[in-house]
Amino acid sequence: MSAVLEIRNLHVSVEGKEILKGVNLVVKQGEIHALMGPNGTGKSTLSNTLMGHPHYVVTSGQVIMDGVDLLELGVDERSRMGLFLAFQYPVAIPGVTVANFLRTAINARLRAVDPKSKGMPIPAFRKLLKERMDTLQMSHDFAGRYLNEGFSGGEKKRAEILQLATLEPTIAIMDETDSGLDIDALRIVADGINKLVGPKLGVLIITHYQRMLNYIKPDKVHIMMGGRIVESGGPDLALQLEAQGYEWVRERYAEAAA
């Protein structure tokens, strides 16, 4: 059975202010969706809510993954369900190497399935990590560095992609994975995502800019405005945004953005 993430009429408030005003979206394993929209329209609010950030209060609506109510689950359980969130601003974890972090995450997931699991044996883990780093054209030294500490913008994004590659989620949400990347880093990250997409992975790419979509071809593009998805279409919708900006959407949905 393939995984499905279904967002139904989701309303979310932050500090008493309603930010999401009824979001509907379905992302299936194997599909690439792009969620675009001007800054401040609620894109990160959606991704943070999906991952269970305590700051974001769901006032109504549902999020269903594989028939399970995701909103009832803790952050770790959501991750074990196969949901992955790449943060817009990843935090540094001094003293924890990239390899340690990934092994801990993999083992936590194995223990969730079988509480008696001893975790992935180190040789198997090393082999997996090397394989995935090679796929992503990353230097093996990277695994020994402290997670995100002193990482450049591009390295942080690559660390996120490496997590994606080793944790093998069914649905991944990438929030502004393209922000702060120069064109070379952008291409590396996009190549990495392209290598991972396929029938087993569904991706929701959240981005303000069209440029990431020159490298990753979405099946569907959605535009968020004022806390709602106001337009959905094919890849040409992203091209239209690049050519014309957001003004036409803003005008059309002036009342939604108010």
Give CA–CA dist 158/34, Å, rounded. Answer: 19
CA distances for 210 relative to 91, 175, 191, 192, angstroms: 26, 14, 16, 18
Size of residue set near ligand ADP by CB under 6 A:
12
Strand-strand pairing, 228-233 and 220-225: antiparallel
Give CA–CA dist 70/66, Å, rounded. Answer: 9
Size of residue set near Mg ion by CB under 5 A:
2
Q: Which of 3, 5, 19, 102 binds ligand ADP (CB under 6 A)?
A: 19
Q: Which of 163, 166, 148, 154 is nearest to 97 (CA)?
A: 148
Of 36-44, 116-124, 144-152, 212-220, the segment contacting ligand ADP by CB under 6 A is 36-44
The entry of Mg ion, ligand ADP, none near residue 52 (CB within 5 to 8 angstroms by kind) is: none
Q: Which two tokens stand for residue 24?
A: 């509907």
- Applying the rule CB under 6 A, the residues between 53 and 112 that interact with ligand ADP are 55
The entry of Mg ion, ligand ADP, none near residue 37 (CB within 5 to 8 angstroms by kind) is: ligand ADP
The entry of Mg ion, ligand ADP, none near residue 40 (CB within 5 to 8 angstroms by kind) is: ligand ADP
Q: Does 229 bind ligand ADP (CB under 6 A)?
A: no
Whether residue 189 contacts residue 213, with contact meaning beta carbons closer than 8 Å, is answered with: no
Q: Which of 41, 44, 48, 163 binds Mg ion (CB under 5 A)?
A: 44
